[in-house]
Amino acid sequence: MLLFRPLISPSRRALSITSELCKGHSKWANIKGIKAANDQAKSAKQSKLLSEMTSAVVDGFDIKKNSRLAAVQDRFRQEGISMDTFDKYLEKLKNKKSTLCHTLVLGPGASTFIIEYEAEVPEKAAKDIKKLLASVDGSFRILPNDSRSMIYSQFDEKGIIRISETTSDGKKLTLTQAEEICIDVECEEILTINTDGAIQYEFICDPNHLYRISNELRDQQLEVEVSEKQFRPKMTVKVSTTEYVKVRDFYEILEADERIKGVYDNLDDEPTNKARVKV
């Protein structure tokens, strides 16, 4: 955050009017401000770890047999988060009746989508999604439940790790340094993501090595912000502007359904006539 002060004569003493420095007048206000910032950071770390737990339990709930889950438990200890939180959330996941499902959808202009959703009865959820798609304009259709092989014929499942440009000790990581790390930990590819000026490096790896690599990056004081499996298209397609508008409407409908956890597509960034429509 940039702090601005008015220009003053060198002979006069500057009085700071920033909220950060004004807190110095009250020791209690200062303590509360620091505590609130620490609590917020801890909450963000906890949310990230709980998300990792949700992904890890796909391989089972026995920590002795599930190395991914054991690694998350170690992270709880390292971050100073109560083991009670870990145990309660693990029990909640055990009692959860819904399962993570994937449905393949064909859209306009050779576009393909994988819808990832949670459901207690997958067949019912698939029917509900089919009704949602019908409300677009009929350009989208669901393939049969045995379409898993078709998903893998058009998409690759990859391990995706995104790290901050700023390390845990406040240093800036250059692209050259990130590329060297990518080679050292045996990742397949690295991308640079710029979101409103905030730089992230995205490491793409074999999904079976996701948790090993994530832990190795953390051991190097790197801030891992995303660590998950995603589907990436083997080839992308371009669609017309009209078709892009239909895709945008399609995404808006899906966003309203809380059961849907993710959507992956094979679309190129821009329609064929270059009239960009953000999806």
Give pLDDT tens digits for 234-255: 999 998 988 988 888 888 888 8
User: Full-prediction pTM beyond 0.75?
Assistant: no
> Phi/psi class of residue 181: alpha, beta or left (left: φ > 0; alpha: ψ in -120 to 50)?
alpha
Please report the pLDDT score of residue 260 as a whole number: 84
Contacts of residues 214-223 at CB distance under 8 Å and 24 or more positions apart, as own/partner, are 214/71, 214/161, 215/71, 216/185, 217/161, 217/163, 217/181, 217/185, 218/75, 220/181, 221/167, 221/168, 221/169, 222/163, 222/164, 222/167, 222/168, 222/173, 222/181, 223/163, 223/164, 223/166, 223/167, 223/168
Query: Predicted confidence band at 264 (pLDDT cuts at 50, 70, 90)?
Result: very high
- End-to-end, the C-alpha distance of the chain in Å comes to 31
| pLDDT over 70 at 33, yes or no | no
Residue range 207-232: mean pLDDT, rounded: 89
Q: Fold identical between 99-154+235-265 and 155-233?
A: yes
- Topology of 155-233 in CATH? Alpha-Beta Plaits (3.30.70)
Q: What kind of architecture, by CATH, is found in domain 99-154+235-265? A: 2-Layer Sandwich (3.30)
**Beta-bridge partners for 190:** 203
Domain ranges of the chain: 22-90, 99-154+235-265, 155-233
pLDDT in tens, 74-105: 888 888 888 899 999 888 888 877 777 888 89
- 159-200 pLDDT tens trace: 999 999 998 888 899 999 999 999 999 999 999 998 888 899
Helical (H) or strand (E) element with 98: none
